[in-house]
Structure 1
Amino acid sequence: MNLNETPQTATGGPAIVLVEPQLGENIGMVARAMANFGLADLRLVAPRDGWPNEKARAAASSADHVIDAARVYACLAEAVADLNVVLATTARSREVPKRVLGPREAATEIRRRESEGQAAGILFGRERWGLTNEEIGYADAIVTFPVNPRFASLNIAQSALLMSYEWLQAGLAEGELPTRFAIPATDTTPAPKAELVGLMEHLETALEPTGYFRTPEKKPVLIRNLRAILQRPGFTTMEVRALRGVIAAFQGRKARAEHHEES
């Protein structure tokens, strides 16, 4: 996915396939999770309450582009017919021998398959009992989440969010952030000496009428100390301009105060 794309125009990524989802609210929360991480292909297999579903739209919290594009299928076979690789989110099943992946490993594999031009999908089961062994049979591998074994229950929206997050993370370089959160590059080149001298002279001019220099004898030493302080940080041009703006603001305030006293 191009991180400069808006969520509404982002394309690519795995299809999120919900098998017989029962509550419209859960479908909506899955759509919201998908939109958060740039996914848009939502497929619904025989949703219990039919489709479209206004409760789903309300719960999607403005992820309308995902809701509007959602496709409904009568059976799982139809929903995954165009996919080259399918992963099923479920607890490990002894009855269905499949390769078992963690969410991060699964997301990395999806990215690799996508780079080879393969279409991928992730299956999520019913809220109450998940996927059947027959449905898991459509998958190339199982995805199991590393959760607290004493409280291992995740709803489908949580599961979809985890997989969507890992898919986005798998497409970023180490330490990279999506464009929206990245810190913009700034010019850290030190300002030319002429600009720094101008700042120093501006500060000296502003301080002169305040009595800061106390006596003519102490002025050269105080000026030298101030210049040493201003040289140390390596101010950029923008920083020099900002500091001169601060000085000018104080000068303007003092001039207005003096004018008020005279009037």
Structure 2
Amino acid sequence: MGNVWDRTMEVLNGRGGMLAGIAVLTLFVPGVISAAYAAYATPGTATAAIGALLALATSVAALWGQLYVIAAASDPGTDRASALRGANGRLLPALLLALALVAIMLVALLPAAVLLAMAGFDFAALSQGATQGTVAPGPALLASLYAIVVLIVMLFAGARLLPLYAVVLHERLGLGAIARSWRLTRRHTWRLVGVVLLFLIVLMIATSAAQSVGGLVFRIILGADARATVTFVAAVIAQAVSTALTLIAIVFSAQLYVALVARERLVRERAALGAVAA
């Protein structure tokens, strides 16, 4: 992991300008647009529907940007045009794969939702920001324990699938990229879990701190009456921090894929030499 991190820093130092431009276009700007709509739009059913569409568009742009960054970060000989062609060509398979993974996660969390419904949890009230009524403690506790187990499993699975979209891009696989990524990351599970967990902790702390401090500063500057503007500006600051950290994570995943493939090739060559020697 140390070598992968060193290569990640080398890529960011050498191609930082190009990669930052891609990240701003595909991660930062869509996030800012969504934040502006959330801050200034009038609450209502139509607003919620448009907000959902914006969230979907933001997710698609982020996935496209991830492919774009991976293509540019995997090989120093790849220029912007080649990286763009690669991202465009593999966007649809990546989208289908992402939808499949989301479906799997929703199915995995469905028992927790059923238990919460049995406990009397009001999902409609939650969506409207209303106060919850009385919830039965037994099913609610079971739902919480089940959700914790599922989240732990997702953490381990996410670690094993860290080079997933690099596989989609470079090896032109669809659903088969899941098995391929799983094979590549075997014997590296705990180290990858540590990397993913550390990144999530840093991301949550950094974005929350940036949003809280930014909101406090601009509330003092603009006044309490400019609540929507303060909320928007704080969200933009948090989005900037999130974009920078996400860019680092994507470049790391690209370099992880390169390192794992090189190691796999070396193991095969050594095995072939051993067979010849025998």
TM-score range, shorter chain: under 0.3
Larger Rg: 1
Instruction: Flag the structure with more relative contact order, 1 or 2, with Cα contacts below 8 A and sequence separation at least 6.
Output: 2
Q: Which has the higher helix share?
A: 2
The structure carrying a bigger strand percent of its residues is 1
